Homo-oligomer: A and B are copies of this chain.
């Protein structure tokens, strides 16, 4: 079966032993060689062989839909679908395979219809193969059941085994599950220039998939996350697996533009989405991340939440979320047109919250004595600003669920409209993993409960996104990767943001929290000698290159006040878009995006590159022909360098039209940002 444009060709075949296989070519070049499909079950015969094809059919689908928020105003969902009804005669069981071939790739899933001989079953392992055509270059993270907060390693597939150890930093939370296991989205580049991305879509009531590499044959195979009992899925028919996705192109830019993962998710289940709005925010956060202030109100150790009377203990004097400090952020947000202020460390329990597998760790409704929840919300709302709620769970999922209704009612009462959730540390109860089915179902439960309360969710340390925001557009953000916080924990690689849009962002937006202008962390905390591995100009570019409907200006108000010229870009940049163009892209090297602000004529350009300097050459043909615009270019100064001179930037304005070509130097670890405003509109 071919894609609508005929360039992507899927071949489905049964081997002589009844093993279902598929293969995929793109423009006649092999992408996935013949690869087996199936599942092994616990205490039941495998669903891997002995099949015959009882029936198959091909259909075509073409629709255009409008996302509630997104990179483009509308999205075309156009594919040919092959449905293969497989019968395993020896066991009288049926499995249906669905293949959707898009112009930009393939999605396939298993359907398990309701049937007498397959009602409840336990997945021992899913055996979906992705047989690659060569020893591709891979942008990979070690496979891990609990965290994606790794630096990406760039290497050939054959080098994964030898580089696995060095890919892991001495951090108890990082636990690779095998010498050649990797996470998804996995970005690959073949020697002959094919770009291939493997991930999954619509991860609901199933275990999260990783990939296990057979590095002799270059065959990747699905590896699901086990639960506390070692099971990899406890399913009841009728049910489906998530879609396994393969995005392919000979142009890197096409990978970034693909909407395949979103398209494989169901339309929104939230009918009234009027309360879901992109958010640009500041927050009482970076000052704690750097160690300038603390989440906790006291220096008590080993507390029990119910037993400590906060009115009787001595404050530590370093608490960040105080009334005065929060008001300072609210004033700053209001003055500069931000929608919201995130406040972390507002609630009791932060003295003793981490790493102890504590069950009752937070109650999500009790503020510290120096945080007046009613007054601060009143104050914020009087200035047109909302406070963003923070629910750190410390991984104790039962405790969060027990408090969820009350916590969301509390948010509704005080006017909070968004929550940042956190799952730092091991999942409690122990034995579960951040990405297993039981815990994935927890995130889903929170998301649906939040929707009932008209609350937007930004989930940190939760399972990586798989396009589910199409179905639940209140999922406005996720972390699920190494974010800006690591710039204070030793730093991110200079090429980090040239890779993430090809990997992590394929599943959905990331709350990357850019905007750090004070690149030396020691300026806030003399004990911390980390530094931000980007230039200041690139921090601006990230608002365009790291797509998210939720964007933070993460640095401190007092720092922004020293750089109001550069800060202007963050104030101006949109967080929702009518159109997106990829002007330049090569994973690991550079990415340049242009995006048109939602409902406006202005455009914003952002460019990020790796540790080597480069010259970016773009043309502005995306602008409306015949119109005149003024571009404000926020660029690295000539002597800028992410290590040696990160804060050297230069801002210039120039008139531009759709015929303009721009040449812009980017420093090592640098980049640039441009706002382009219609001249008449000035």
Contacts and interface: CB of A to CB of B under 8 A. Distances in A.
A120 B238 CA distance: 44
Interface string A380-408: 00000000000000000010011001000
Kindly state the interface size class of chain A when it binds its partner.
Answer: 20 to 34
B441 A228 contact: no
Nearest to A445: B402
B120 A357 contact: yes
Interface string A118-154: 0110000000000000000000000000000000000
Contacts of A357: 120, 234
A302, A358, A359 — which one has the most chain B CB atoms within 10 A of its CB?
Answer: A302
A143 to B, nearest CB: 21
A236 interface: yes
A227 interface: yes
A493 B398 CA distance: 41
Interface string A441-467: 100010000000000000000000000
Contact of A356 (B236, B356, B405): B236
Interface string A221-245: 0000001110100101110000000
Contacts of A430: 227-229, 231, 234
The interface residues of chain A, by DSSP majority, are classed as: loop
Contacts of A378: none
B358 A229 contact: no
Interface in A205-234: 227-229, 231, 234
Interface string A397-438: 010011001000000000000000000000001111000001
Contacts of A304: 236, 238
Interface in A238-274: 238
Given A398-B398, A402-B401, A429-B432, A302 B228 contact: no
Nearest to A234: B357
A237 B229 CA distance: 29
A301 interface: yes
Contacts of A431: 227-229, 431
Interface in A36-83: none
Nearest to A357: B234
Contacts of A441: 359
A114 interface: yes
Nearest to A231: B430
